[in-house]
Amino acid sequence: MNLIRSHRWREILGVLIMVAVLSPLATGLPALAADQSLVFEALGVLQQYYVDPIDPVKMLNAALAGVRAQLSTGGVTATLSDISADVSEAEARRIFVERFMSAVSAGQSSISDTQLAHAAVRGMTESFKDSHTGFLTPQQNAERRQRQRGQAGFSGIGIILGPRDGKFFVVTTIPGGPAEAAGIKEFDRIVRINDVSTAGMQVDQVSGMVRGPAGTQVTLTLQRPGVTDPVVLAVTRASISIPSILKSEIFEGGVGYIKLYQFVERTGRDFRGVVTQMQGQGMRALVLDLRGNSGGYLTELNSVLNALMPSGLPVYTEIRKGGTTRVFRTVGPALLPASVPMVVLIDENSASAAELLAMAIKEHRRGQLIGEKTAGAVEASLLLDLTDGSALSVTTFRLASGLGVRLEGAGVEPDMPTALTTADMEAGQDKPLGTAVRVVRQYLALPAR
């Protein structure tokens, strides 16, 4: 079961691009053309798998809304009225085909059948207002598969990009990537790309200029905290694999730090391995950084929870069709003893599985949460392939915390609110991390009880 990685489906790839500044590797398999049959295929998938009953006529009207939006974007005018709510599903399908063919005729010189079909499917999924129901194009679907397998699904320079107030900062460089090798550092601000200023750009424009085929070069002009003159670096793009753990180190006094970025295949194994290694190096406390972690697989979440929490604790709840519930509990001895203080960093981009982890730690008082309220995107979904290579993410059941608190739309509140501001980044200071380290050091200084 997959907890999909985006908390805003309008930005499903926007999150991947916005945060990772990467471009897709060629898959070698061309996407198939699509038409109205893809819309009916998607409707059937939603009818079969979505957690709640759906109205097919309402769905087809949402599909028409998507088609109208696509035509409008392309500067095409066409009258596509909604289908009456009181017709049968069979009649609604017949009317939809008529409307769709009218759209095809209207947009034939500038908009393809495939674009219209994808817009229709996207219109249906967006109508749910559901964080985990959405549409992936064939390209996005191929990227998703490779990323979740831990494979090189992209080519780029290997940075995590943080847009703030119209400025574009490097939050982290991906270990072993071209950016790290070229000397790009945390909180460098990208001011020019190949001599083009980033002032006034949107994040997708910055992403589009930075990414590109492996082996090609991009030149970045960076404003580095504490350095007066701009830093100019040429970076050769390469295939990028994004690991689950972007950073791990031990600070002074035995304070361990782990930046856990995603829950993909082998995340649990990798996390347990890093914790074990750090314990061998004298780790006395842990700061777990979940900022920017937008989720992944429940199975991998389970493995991380079991490493951090005592056995037998309720950590999340599945709510199935009809209201039946199933509570998941930790199993086996915890890898990290309860005597080791822990602080968890969260922000508005911590979503899905990351939110369940944070809430479990909060509910059972295993550690303290520092940062900003999380995304509030906590449902469970399946990713289901469609015949043209695209895919649907479909919410198949609801999720709640171990004690039954629904987090969808609400998020998890930190115990100690602390934001990473634009001024902090310009100064090269990660104040939430500094606060977290200070708090765990205070715990270590307390007398044993």
Asked whether residue 199 falls in the same domain as residue 262, the answer is: no
Residue 29 has pLDDT above 50, yes or no: no
Asked whether residue 308 falls in the same domain as residue 198, the answer is: no
Burial of 72 (0-12, 13-18, 19+ CB in 10 A): exposed
Q: Is residue 312 part of a domain?
A: yes
Q: How much of the chain exceeds pLDDT 70, in percent?
A: 90
CB 411 within 8 A of CB 376: yes
Express each pLDDT in 88-104 by its tens digit. 999 999 999 999 999 99
CATH number assigned to the domain comprising residue 387: 3.90.226.10
**Boundary of a domain, candidates 213, 240, 267:** 240
Confidence of residue 152 (pLDDT cuts 50, 70, 90): low
Q: Is residue 36 part of a domain?
A: yes
Confidence of residue 25 (pLDDT cuts 50, 70, 90): very low
CATH number assigned to the domain comprising residue 215: 2.30.42.10
Identify the pLDDT of residue 20: 33
Express each pLDDT in 211-250 by its tens digit. 899 999 999 999 999 999 999 999 999 988 889 999 999 9
* Mean pLDDT for the stretch of residues 137-142: 87
Identify the pLDDT of residue 448: 45
| Helix ranges (DSSP H) in 234-331 | 267-280, 298-308
CB 187 within 8 A of CB 170: yes
Asked whether residue 351 falls in the same domain as residue 308, the answer is: yes
Angle at the Cα of 372 from the Cα atoms of 393 and 246, rounded to 5 degrees: 65
Residues 6+ apart with CB under 8 A from 365: none
Residue 31 has pLDDT above 70, yes or no: no
Q: Is residue 22 part of a domain?
A: no
CB 357 within 8 A of CB 304: yes
Backbone phi, psi, residue 24, to 5°: -70, 145
**Boundary of a domain, candidates 218, 240, 262:** 240
Express each pLDDT in 53-85 by its tens digit. 999 999 999 999 999 999 998 888 888 999 999
Q: Is residue 144 part of a domain?
A: no
Asked whether residue 286 falls in the same domain as residue 319, the answer is: yes
Identify the pLDDT of residue 74: 87
Asked whether residue 252 falls in the same domain as residue 272, the answer is: yes
Q: How much of the chain exceeds pLDDT 90, in percent?
A: 79
Asked whether residue 287 falls in the same domain as residue 371, the answer is: yes
Express each pLDDT in 404-435 by its tens digit. 999 999 999 999 999 999 999 999 999 999 99
Angle at the Cα of 24 from the Cα atoms of 150 and 26, rounded to 5 degrees: 100
Check residues 6 and 286 and name the one with the higher pLDDT. 286
* Mean pLDDT for the stretch of residues 277-288: 97
The counts of H helices and E strands in the chain are 13, 22
Asked whether residue 295 falls in the same domain as residue 426, the answer is: yes
Q: Is residue 85 part of a domain?
A: yes
Confidence of residue 153 (pLDDT cuts 50, 70, 90): low
Asked whether residue 233 falls in the same domain as residue 249, the answer is: no
CB 305 within 8 A of CB 275: no
What's the number of domains the chain is made of?
3
Q: Is residue 323 part of a domain?
A: yes
What is the distance between the alpha carbons of residues 219 and 228, in angstroms, rounded to a whole number?
19
Confidence of residue 147 (pLDDT cuts 50, 70, 90): low
Asked whether residue 96 falls in the same domain as residue 199, the answer is: no
Asked whether residue 205 falls in the same domain as residue 341, the answer is: no
Place of tokens 């398999």: 29
Burial readout 50-60 (b: 16 or more C-beta within 10 A, e: otherwise): bbeeeebbebb
Express each pLDDT in 328-343 by its tens digit. 999 989 999 999 999 9
Q: Is residue 19 part of a domain?
A: no
Give the pTM.
Answer: 0.84
* Least confident piece of the model among 20-29, 175-184, 223-232: 20-29
Asked whether residue 298 falls in the same domain as residue 419, the answer is: yes
Identity of the residue numbered 362:
K
Mean pLDDT of the chain: 90
CA atoms within a 13 Å half-sphere pointing along the CA-CB vector of 204: 6
Q: Is residue 137 part of a domain?
A: no
**Boundary of a domain, candidates 183, 213, 240:** 240
What is the distance between the alpha carbons of residues 107 and 75, in angstroms, rounded to a whole number?
9
What is the distance between the alpha carbons of residues 100 and 113, in angstroms, rounded to a whole number?
9
Domain range for 90: 2-10+30-131
CB 60 within 8 A of CB 83: yes
Asked whether residue 197 falls in the same domain as residue 301, the answer is: no
